[in-house]
Amino acid sequence: MTESRRGFLKLAGLSAVAVAGSAAVSAKATRSEGHEPPATTGKRLALVVDLRKFAKDDALFAAVVEACHKAHSVPDFGDDAKNEVKWIWTEPFETAFHSEEFHYIREDLKGKPTLLLCNHCDNPPCTRVCPTQATWKRAEDGVVMMDWHRCIGCRYCVVACPYGSRSFNWKDPRKAANLAGLDPKAFPTRMRGVVEKCTFCDERLARGEEPACVAACPNGEMAFGDLNDPASEVRRLLTEHLAIRRRPGLGTQPEVYYIVEDPRSLMEVAPAAEVFEVEEGGHA
Amino acid sequence: MRASHMELLDQWRDTVVRDNQRTYVSKLSGKEFEMSLQKTCGDCHSNKAEFCDACHDYTAVQPYCWTCHLEPQEAP
């Protein structure tokens, strides 16, 4: 009897060492998560918003927002800001890019509406804080997904997102006037107590279509595609133009890019000689 | 189906939302179905009062499918 007890204790000791060892290995594997450059394998879906093209048509913002919100049965509570639910929306240019601290910006850029949505970050803070994994980053294409079945409404992700891309349903969305009499085949609504946000139209991507916002743009004001594909439209746009992202200093690696100015047009406006003259004058 | 439809719905939900697989291929007939409560199930089981509520009321269970998903409407 004593021998079997001794054997049991030996075995127990060995298993404890094995468990601790495997735990250490898995801790090592997860610790580096999020501190690596974006994956270069598989797809990396990204969106490019051409603000120069948007500047030509002020009515397009509303059309794009409407297209998205209609496609996803997003409730509209009018001017009730506390209960606002938004997947895509506009902010004045300086507010959208406040970290850039634009001080003396051109008059035509000042207060100009800028289209904002979930940035589908490469290093999303929202997915890390979710206690139920109701939001996660899809490995195959980088979309930051939502599982509304799983969301328990703790709102950690709303706090974690530095872009304000997440909305909480304080009120039953079905009570919104715009969602009365929805078609039974329409996109499901959410329920009260659930967080929602843009999912890059994962339901449309599954059918091989572009996101609804991109489809609503008549002249390529938005482009959508795979950043890991060197021949893609988004890669071409980012190579040829100067594009900025919202708060890149946070290290979230947002994947929504904004073309603000064409560097070639800048050169046409201000040749090198003129710039030199202005600088000389400034120092005098 | 009457006894274990909830398990099928649970599996379909996870397969669509978590694994991004939206088509179900029947192992018996090879027929393909879109795994969608509203688009596929609702096409035939279009009477919520008879197909859902009748048993759910009797067994006093309150699933919350329809707080988000849209109820099927019977053809007039």
3 state SS of B53 = helix
The CATH code of domain A41-269 reads: 3.30.70.20
Q: What is the pLDDT of residues A136-149, one digit of tens each?
A: 999 999 999 999 99
Q: Which domain holds residue B43?
A: 5-67
CB nearest to B68's CB, from A145, A189, A206: A189
- B75 domain residue, yes or no: no
Taking CB atoms and an 8 Å limit, are A184 and B13 in contact across chains?
no
Q: What is the pLDDT of residues A209-260, one digit of tens each?
A: 999 999 999 999 999 999 999 999 999 999 999 899 999 999 999 999 999 8
- B57 domain residue, yes or no: yes
Taking CB atoms and an 8 Å limit, are A185 and B71 in contact across chains?
no
Instruction: Name every residue in B having a CB less than 8 A away from some CB of A.
Output: 13, 17-18, 20, 22, 38-39, 42, 64, 67-73
Domain ranges of chain A: 41-269
Domains in chain B: how many in total?
1
Interface test with A, best of B70, B71, B74 (most A CBs within 10 A): B70
Q: Kindly give the confidence (pLDDT) of every residue in chain A, 284 residues in length, as a single tens digit, with 9 standing for 90 and above.
A: 556 778 887 888 778 777 766 655 554 444 444 444 555 567 999 999 999 899 888 899 999 999 999 999 999 999 899 999 999 999 999 999 988 888 888 777 788 899 999 999 999 999 999 999 999 999 999 999 999 999 999 999 999 999 999 999 999 999 999 999 899 999 999 999 999 999 999 999 999 999 999 999 999 999 999 999 999 999 999 999 989 999 999 999 999 999 987 655 655 554 544 444 444 444 43
- B74 domain residue, yes or no: no
- B17 domain residue, yes or no: yes
Concatenating the DSSP letter of every residue in A205-263 gives HTTTPPPHHHHT-TTSSEEEEETT-TTSHHHHHHHHSEEE-S-GGGS----EEEEEE-H
B74 to chain A: closest CA residue: A184
CB nearest to A188's CB, from B20, B22, B38: B38
B41 to chain A: closest CA residue: A185
Complex ipTM: 0.90
Sign, Cα dihedral of A11, A14, A18, A19: positive
> What global pTM score does this model have?
0.80
CB nearest to B38's CB, from A140, A184, A190: A184
> In this structure, what DSSP letter does residue A45 have?
E
The upper half-sphere exposure of residue A77, i.e. CA atoms within 13 Å in the direction of its Cβ, equals: 16
- What is the least distance, in Å, from the CA of A206 to any CA of chain B? 8
